A and B are shown apart, each in its own frame.
Chain A
Amino acid sequence: MQASGLDRNRSPLNYYTWVGVFFLVFTLIIGALYVATIKIDYVWRWYRMPSYFVNLEQVPIISDHAGSVATVTKSGEDATVVVQGDDGTANPYEIPGADVWVDEGDTIYAGDTLGAFKEWRPGILAQGMWVTLKVSLYSIIFGILIGLIGGVARISTNPALKWSAITYVEIIRGSPLLVQIFIWYFVLATLINNLLLKYGLREIDAIWYGVAALATFTGAYVTEIVRAGIQSIHRGQIEAARSLGMSGPQSLRYIILPQAMRRILPPLAGQFISLIKDSSLLGMIAVRELTKATREGITTSLQPYEFWFVCAILYLVLTFTLSMFVQYLEKRMAIQ
């Protein structure tokens, strides 16, 4: 670590003392929290948390037919149960792992369990994280598209384009995201889905209205970021491009945007980190993303403390990964 030179030099001993103080304070806060929870008789069960990520689940194999078990044959690891139906049909059921619960000759009703096998299934937190990741990724992609178009429209001399962009940005930035999500879900979604039904088409899932809300929200901020990025490029650049006979769009594509991209990237990263965090609001419109999944996990497990900490850490993992990725991009884009 390089001292700035503005301050007097610190001795190494002094430096490590303060490093020690940092860790001490950090430990004390966590310790105090732990002690407080013990005082109110909270039982920490961290060991249960992994099962909410992956779970070895028993999957039952259920008979669709009524009748009796004709044969149970093993073949290596697996077994096959043949149910002789009352209607005279023979119905084979594969049971991987050969955990067979019935014997030959047993009477079977439709819905009876013939056997079971075990399978690793993603737990509720893994599912929630996957939804959050998916929603964020789609919103980022659409947000960039909207922002690029919006940013270019925003600096256009065509009033229709320019004013549309300004109106869009001002409306989005001037109202709470939660309200926008509700408008997308309770107004636009019911409208669109009813229209779709009327014309015999399939309804669109809530998650896509959530993506639309996040993408249009982010798009407004990206629009401003793109505008500022483009305007930060020296006028001489576009003049040089145009004086060579390039059209406006050509200058934008080959000269302005590549240079603007480099300046846009850091604020863009901040915007997308916000987006990942804001996706937690989609739980309000029945999208089972990470926060909603956490709440569901808590209702079944009654372990709120563990769940909320894990939830926060998972968001941190996502945002940290994103900011690392952007740093890598920045390095790659820097000249040489």
Chain B
Amino acid sequence: MIEVRNIYKTFYVPHKVQALVDVSVEITAGEVVVVIGPSGSGKSTFLRCLNHLETANKGHILIDGIDILDSRTNINKVRAEVGMVFQSFNLFPHKTVLENITLAQEVVRKRPKKEAHEKAMGLLDKVGIQEKAGVYPDQLSGGQQQRVAIARALAMDPKIMLFDEPTSALDPEMIGEVLDVMKNLAREGMTMVVVTHEMGFAREVADRVLFMDGGKIVEVGSPEHFFTNPTHDRTKLFLSQIL
């Protein structure tokens, strides 16, 4: 489903940072991959390269067989198949919750208004806030906003969902409600790449865990492997710090 081959990403502004160095990984359909690692290790950059919010300098990224680094690829088509959920929600503040979820359906998927509306209401029901359809995002709690953001991404019927620290900006009592939605999604067989510090989630839901450090994938393995006997010293150190 996702094939990453030897990608590099270097930022030159404000100063030279090698954010990704020779990263390769293959993720199959239905797999849930959790990415962990210290701050600045390149987790977000890796995730953002997968839907071309960042352009990798070198290498290949195949999404469902399509090379997104090829200039002939229509990236908008690929992005419609890859949902993304941000740490800071990024809901559209000038649109109601319902409009947040219907807009891209109508504009990108060209669905009729009625169909988009029904789809949106169904998803709001799924994330448990159907009664908030008519309100504006700033009237919602952080947890509710993030659930709307997930619904907004799911409305496009994506094949892959990317999550970049979806619970990091939330008050502790709201983390659970968002993780529950994500767990359900994983159970339904969605292909997911999740950057998170929620080790409980990783242990429970992940098929595989990637540990990144210094722009490289240092260690890959099952959650059991990670939380019982990690191989690398860096991994051990990191896990000892956060567990």
Q: Could you list which residues of chain A lie within 8 angstroms of chain B, going by C-beta atoms?
A: 234, 236-237, 239-247, 250, 254-255, 258-259, 262, 335-336
Contacts and interface: CB of A to CB of B under 8 A. Distances in A.
A255 B80 contact: no
A335 B138 contact: yes
B47 to A, nearest CB: 11
B52 to A, nearest CB: 9
A63 to B, nearest CB: 68
Nearest to A234: B90
A335 B107 CA distance: 23
A236 B86 contact: yes
Contacts of B25: none
B7 interface: no
A244 B104 contact: yes
B93 A250 contact: no
B103 A254 contact: yes
Contacts of A236: 86, 88, 90
A254 B107 contact: yes
A78 B239 CA distance: 104
B108 A243 contact: no
A245 B41 CA distance: 27
B92 A237 contact: yes
Residue picked from A245, A258, A259, most chain B C-beta under 10 Å = A245
B107 A246 contact: yes
Residue picked from A244, A246, A262, most chain B C-beta under 10 Å = A244
A237 B94 CA distance: 11
A244 B85 CA distance: 10
B16 interface: no
B77 interface: yes
B156 interface: yes
Contacts of A335: 93-94, 136, 138
11 contacts: A239-B84, A239-B90, A240-B91, A242-B76, A243-B51, A243-B79, A245-B76, A245-B80, A254-B107, A258-B94, A335-B136
B53 A246 contact: no
A242 B104 contact: no
Contacts of B77: 245
B193 interface: no
Given A237-B92, A239-B86, A250-B107, A244 B53 contact: no
B210 to A, nearest CB: 21
A251 B108 CA distance: 11
Interface string B90-104: 111110000000011
Interface residues of B, number: 27
A288 to B, nearest CB: 44
A93 B83 CA distance: 80
B82 interface: yes
B76 A247 contact: yes
Nearest to B82: A243
B93 A240 contact: no
B106 to A, nearest CB: 10
A240 B86 contact: yes
Contacts of A246: 76, 104, 107-108
Given A237-B90, A258-B94, 10 more contacts: A236-B86, A236-B88, A237-B92, A243-B83, A243-B84, A244-B79, A245-B108, A247-B76, A250-B108, A255-B92
A258 B99 CA distance: 14
A241 B88 CA distance: 14
Contacts of B90: 234, 236-237, 239-240
A247 B75 CA distance: 9
Nearest to A250: B107
Contacts of A254: 103, 107
A255 B100 CA distance: 10
Contacts of B153: 243-244
Nearest to A244: B104
B167 to A, nearest CB: 17
B147 interface: no
Nearest to A238: B90
B94 A242 contact: no
A245 B79 CA distance: 5
A167 to B, nearest CB: 24
4 cross-chain pairs, A with B, having the tightest CB-CB distances, nearest first: A245-B80, A244-B104, A240-B90, A236-B90
Nearest to A236: B90
Contacts of B208: none
A157 to B, nearest CB: 12
A242 B86 contact: no
A243 B79 CA distance: 6
A201 B149 CA distance: 59
Contacts of B84: 239-240, 243
Contacts of A247: 76
A237 B77 CA distance: 19
B152 interface: yes
